[in-house]
A and B are shown apart, each in its own frame.
Chain A
């Protein structure tokens, strides 16, 4: 039986800026936040399905901070959480459907609780990335003897950049690089991102950025 002691951790940071998504709904009613979350969940499912030791974390990033969608604070872990979580009732692997239900519930909570004030309309992405790095660091500390962990961050970026965030953003990227992890942005066609990708291009594959605009 194939048993690997290597844990593969994928942290997905999703930009759920309500203003941008609201505008997006007007631009193109086909592509909404729920569609985006569905796609993100399929990506997470595919990652978890690959091996038993794969781990997933999803962080939602918005204008007032960031929030862990999965694993959430109310999630008791794999064992014994059975009775609380409703089953999928269809052919999806149980673990995946439990995770998906959690993510959906959490994002619903967040979106209903966000209050947008006029001043802060930019996504605090750097903060979410920092949270992701802290989570990775914590899991690395909690490893048992003989286990290794490999981590990656996938960033799904929606709203445009904020100039104020630039320093924080760069700091986070360099911090990740210092952990001997490399980064690799995947860009779409936007002029404004060219500079950023140039700076991050020197690095390898730790971050993967998906730009939605």
Chain B
């Protein structure tokens, strides 16, 4: 998930968001099989498959016999063989199907029976209800409409992001700890946590990716909290398929699920009037979780003179734009900023990459910009990338300098030894100068002393 790319003095943490499939592939087979016991999970996993794989699954969904592999291979034309192989590996990696020998001795494919049954249930009906519907509780006197749910969700999510940016906001101890564990913030003893470079990158992602990244972090810590991963994941998927504006009952939810619900309440994924309420409302954030659909309208216009016009009032959004651009003017409904070399390179020094800045601008692009292809002016995107590359012209590596060799032979002996050890960084034969890594320095020094003792 996090890749540390050491480049000498600079340690850049690259934020990588896994998607659902990558996450599931890492789970153990037993957990996966238990997960597929719920129709919501099967539907969520099915929706994320590449379209060819979806077709394969649909074709085999109502078959009870294994299908010969040769027959499946005939479903694609010869020149799409690569797609077919990719599908086969995706389906096998997620344990959605496996090979089984047919009666004639041929190899065949058959769908994972648990997955098959539960996907069929999701389509046809039958089986257990996903959750107790709220209808048993009667209509809600304090019903919330969709607008207020949306507002609530955005408010709670922005509080978390504002906490990361450093504005004072009330965030629970649990949440702060989760942010620290996720590597998005660092906390020194006794002080308030402050944001890391991974945190900066996180801020510029779109809401759906942020949510997903956050949820994955939470799931990682779930087991250490004593929660059942399968239970939580199933509930999460179920939530992502629920209808906006509808209330659901907490009947039949276990203790750990209720705790999870409280955490979701804090992230803004569900709304519950009170902690003890018997019903909850999923918000748009929960529904976008598995879908990745952009919920907010864009508000940024980028012009070819490097000006950014952000039509927003939100302090958070303005702070985010200010991360990589220079603020010029602020009006009641719009903020004008300029992309300059200094501002972009400052952002890059903080750990943000050019790709992330471009992604941020693209995902928040105003509908007016969306009519153009490409959405952002190519001059701007190219220039941002060039500014990033400017910083990469020099690469720093630590080392120890060896110079003032008395003879060429001495130099060559030591150089060959260092090369043999793999710690030679640089050499200049004409001037008899070489640089060795700090780790290799002690070894090379010892070798040199041995050689000197030998020769003298």
Contacts and interface: CB of A to CB of B under 8 A. Distances in A.
Given A88-B125, A97-B125, A82 B243 contact: yes
Interface in B277-294: 290-294
A1 B292 contact: yes
Interface size for chain A: under 10, 10 to 19, 20 to 34, or 35 or more residues?
A: 20 to 34
B39 A78 contact: no
Interface string A7-49: 0000000000000000000000000000000000010011001
Nearest to B48: A2
B129 A90 contact: yes
A92 B242 contact: no
**Residue of A3, A45, A87, A95 with most partner-chain B CB within 10 A:** A87
B246 interface: yes
Contact of A82 (B122, B123, B241, B246): B246
B455 to A, nearest CB: 67
B212 interface: yes
Contacts of A86: 135
Contact of A1 (B19, B43, B54): B19
B123 A42 contact: yes
Contact of A87 (B135, B139, B209, B371): B135
Given A49-B46, A83-B139, A87-B133, A1 B122 contact: no
B244 A92 contact: no
Interface residues of B, number: 45
Given A91-B39, A91-B121, A97-B125, A79 B244 contact: yes
A118 interface: no
A92 B121 contact: yes
B133 A3 contact: no
Contact of A52 (B47, B128, B130): B47
Contacts of A1: 19-20, 48, 208-209, 212, 290-292
A46 B54 CA distance: 11
A111 interface: no
A50 interface: yes
Interface in A158-183: none
Contacts of B146: 79-80
A136 B370 CA distance: 23
Contacts of A92: 39, 121-126
Nearest to B133: A87
Contacts of B123: 42, 45-46, 49, 92-93, 96
B2 interface: no
**Residue of B39, B135, B209, B246 with most partner-chain A CB within 10 A:** B246
A2 B47 CA distance: 9
A94 B241 contact: yes
B245 A79 contact: yes
Contacts of B370: 145-146
Contact of A3 (B39, B122, B135, B291): B291
A45 B124 contact: yes
Interface string A70-81: 000000001111
Nearest to A83: B139
Given A52-B47, A96-B123, A89 B58 contact: no
Interface in B29-60: 39-40, 43, 46-48, 51, 54, 58
Contact of A93 (B122, B133, B247): B122
Contacts of B382: none
Given A3-B293, A49-B123, A97-B125, A91 B130 contact: yes
Nearest to A2: B48
Interface string B289-314: 01111100000000000000000000
A116 interface: no
B163 to A, nearest CB: 25
Contacts of B54: 50
A80 B245 contact: yes
B244 A78 contact: yes
A3 B245 CA distance: 23
Contacts of B20: 1
Interface string B174-208: 00000000000000000000000000000000001
B145 interface: yes
B367 interface: yes
B168 to A, nearest CB: 32
A88 B126 CA distance: 9
Contact of A90 (B51, B118, B127, B245): B127
Given A91-B126, A92-B121, A93-B122, A50 B133 contact: no
A80 B20 CA distance: 28
Contacts of B208: 1, 3
Contacts of B290: 1
Contacts of B122: 49, 91-93, 96
B81 to A, nearest CB: 23
Interface string B312-333: 0000000000000000000000
Interface in B83-129: 118, 121-129
Contact of B241 (A3, A80, A95): A95
A78 B146 CA distance: 11
A112 to B, nearest CB: 24
Contacts of B126: 90-92
A2 B54 CA distance: 13
A78 B293 CA distance: 15
B233 to A, nearest CB: 16
A134 interface: no
A19 B61 CA distance: 35
5 contacts: A1-B212, A78-B243, A92-B123, A94-B130, A95-B241
Interface of B: 19-20, 39-40, 43, 46-48, 51, 54, 58, 118, 121-130, 133, 135, 139, 145-146, 208-209, 212, 241-247, 290-294, 367, 370-371
Question: 7 tightest CB-CB pairs across the interface, nearest first?
Answer: A1-B292, A82-B246, A91-B127, A91-B121, A92-B125, A80-B245, A87-B133
Interface of A: 1-3, 42, 45-46, 49-52, 78-83, 86-98, 100, 144-146
